[in-house]
Chains A and B, each alone.
Chain A
Amino acid sequence: MTAVAETTSTPPGTTTRRQRGPVATLRQSATVAWRQLVQIKHSPEQLVEVGIQPVIFVFLFAFVLSGQMDGDRHTYLQFVVPGLIVQSAVLVTARTAIAMNGDVTSGLFDRFRSLPISRTAPLIGRIVADYVMLVWSVVLLLAFGMLLSFRIETSWTRLLPMFLLLLVFSFCLSWAAVYAGLLASNPENVQALAFGLMLPLTFLSSVFVRTDTMPGWLQAVVNLNPVSMLADAIRGLLVSGPIAAPVTKTLIASLVLLAIFAPLALRAYHRER
């Protein structure tokens, strides 16, 4: 047989354009994000699922827990609503991890990997779609919070930098979620892993209580938690307190997360299964 000889010409009938470069990656990511978002049309209960959690938490903290906190309900809401925004971001990345794992176990990722498309588009598309869900849940959270006397004390225009910061943070944290989702063998494991990490991440932070109420050794840990940094930054932006320092710390922490988990996630994506 002599047919092994390699040909360099494109075989006739190959109609697809070459799908390389940053523009192609962006376009493909947008297509993957479209796929996630069009699902909402068919199962709108997803919107409720994502939206109900922050509403329940606002209710819980405003009526059940605020009595134990010093100050009145309004004072605690001013403190905890920015924290709950951060909690929503962490919750949405857990969704990312679970959905990612679903795509791997269903074989959809094998199909992606056998197509002439960017290697990162399926990951970025998913992260972008989940950010849209996050914006939706934060809008609901703010609306419900305001119904119960939460007020933006700084300026409405601060919402824009707040959402931008949230975008940067959740984009970077999502890579950790993607990594977990690709690594685990089934969705149940991801769920266990995600919630096992999420609880300490949100509770050992300044999300729900002021860190100066904690013992000194714990404060050291809590202040290193990126979740605390983001919560403080959002408090500064929407309510009161320093802005520059926590925002800078959040950006640095986000980049560190990205630097650690994006390569790990990409490696897991290419890993042989």
Chain B
Amino acid sequence: MTSAIQAEGLAKQFGETKALTSVDLQVPAGTVLGLLGPNGAGKTTAVRILTTLLRPDAGRAVVMGHDVAKDPERVREIIGLTGQYAAVDEHLTGTENLIFLARLLGFSRARSRAVAADLLERFGLSDAADRSAKTYSGGMRRRLDLAACLVADPKVIFLDEPTTGLDPNARDQLWEIIRDQVRRGSTVLLTTQYLEEADQLADDIVVIDHGSVVAQGTPQTLKREFGRPTLEVRPVHHEQLDRVADVVADVAGERTVEGRAVKTRVHDATVLPAVVRRLDEAGIEVAELSVREPSLDEVFKQLTVTGAEV
């Protein structure tokens, strides 16, 4: 397996603030890595180091075999970057924006036109090609921005929060474009605050918080490893809630009363028969009883709140 991106011990400090402490990343060629974390976790700093915009204080990063600190020029020839803000010139039309970048990269006039037309077509922007970008919706701007980063046909693409602020429809469109790009053989590193996005797009997820990695693995592994299923019991008679809670605590070791139900995290579903039996013995009528698999969102919250302990 060849790594498209490999980083070891990346660290970066801004004044007193430690943006990254020691981050290792590895992205096999042709796959998508989701770099997941709350605001200020260090996601953007990591992307900026990997795209040669920042030099790391410590550690080393290699993109397609080229060291980002020692040979940034070579790295820039291979990568495409889409930052957090749609970096398009809003006074120019969609076509002009793309032609501008193509010309900047040394393409001939004819080839620049062809590349621009092709990308606009692919991204569903052909109808708006000759309108200035300031008339575009948020989703269209993001798509144009992504198209701009693909002008040079980069092998490795960095997307920093590509869908933040988009409505679900526009977000779905952008996801489809990213999937399509991966099918074409690109390697993608995307940062996101949304688990759903990582779950939808990423082959692997790295969760970072306060500048260091708190968990990593496939979406499934993360759910299995860090998320415990939730047992929820709702008695028919509200007054029996306390007795239900006692029973649950006895079996599962924890009790939390939320509204009209008792909820607790359990290790696995095997506690279920015991809970049912004990409730039956106690003569408590149950309206609802369930064991629910964790959502990635719960895993994420758990990881980034108690990050240090995990």
Contact = CB atoms under 8 A, between A and B. Distances in A.
Interface of A: 1, 3-8, 10-11, 13-20, 24, 27-28, 31-32, 34-35, 38-39, 42-43, 106-108, 110-111, 113-117, 121, 272-273
Given A16-B105, A111-B149, A116 B64 contact: no
Nearest to B1: A3
Interface residues of B, number: 48
A35 B3 CA distance: 37
Nearest to B86: A107
Interface in B49-66: 51-55, 62, 64-66
Contact of A17 (B1, B78, B106, B149): B106
Contact of B104 (A11, A31, A273): A31
Nearest to A108: B87
Contact of B62 (A6, A8, A10, A14): A6
A121 B85 CA distance: 22
A110 B106 contact: no
Interface stretch (B91-99, B170-178, B230-238, B268-276): B91-99
Contacts of A1: 1, 3, 6, 26
B54 A272 contact: yes
A10 B65 CA distance: 10
B128 to A, nearest CB: 14
B2 interface: yes
Contacts of B18: none
Contacts of B48: 110
Given A6-B65, A34-B100, A39 B92 contact: yes
Tell me which of A14, A24, A114 has the highest count of chain B C-beta atoms within 10 A of its own C-beta.
A114
Contacts of B105: 16, 19, 115-117
A272 B6 CA distance: 22
Nearest to B105: A16
A116 B54 CA distance: 15
Interface string B68-106: 000001001111110111111101110010001101111
Given A14-B155, A24-B106, A4 B6 contact: yes
Nearest to A30: B103
A31 B103 contact: yes
Interface of B: 1-3, 6, 8, 26, 48, 51-55, 62, 64-67, 73, 76-81, 83-89, 91-93, 96, 100-101, 103-107, 132, 148-149, 152-153, 155
A13 B155 contact: yes
Given A16-B152, A111-B148, A38 B64 contact: no
Contacts of B93: 42
26 contacts: A1-B6, A3-B3, A3-B6, A6-B62, A8-B65, A11-B78, A16-B106, A17-B106, A18-B77, A19-B106, A24-B106, A28-B104, A31-B104, A35-B89, A35-B96, A35-B100, A38-B92, A39-B91, A107-B87, A108-B87, A111-B101, A114-B53, A114-B76, A114-B81, A116-B152, A272-B54
Contact of A38 (B53, B78, B96): B96
Tell me which of A14, A31, A106, A116 has the highest count of chain B C-beta atoms within 10 A of its own C-beta.
A116
B92 A110 contact: no
Contacts of B103: 31, 34
Contacts of A43: 91
Query: Nearest 4 pairs between A and B by C-beta?
Result: A7-B65, A107-B87, A3-B3, A39-B91
B83 A107 contact: yes
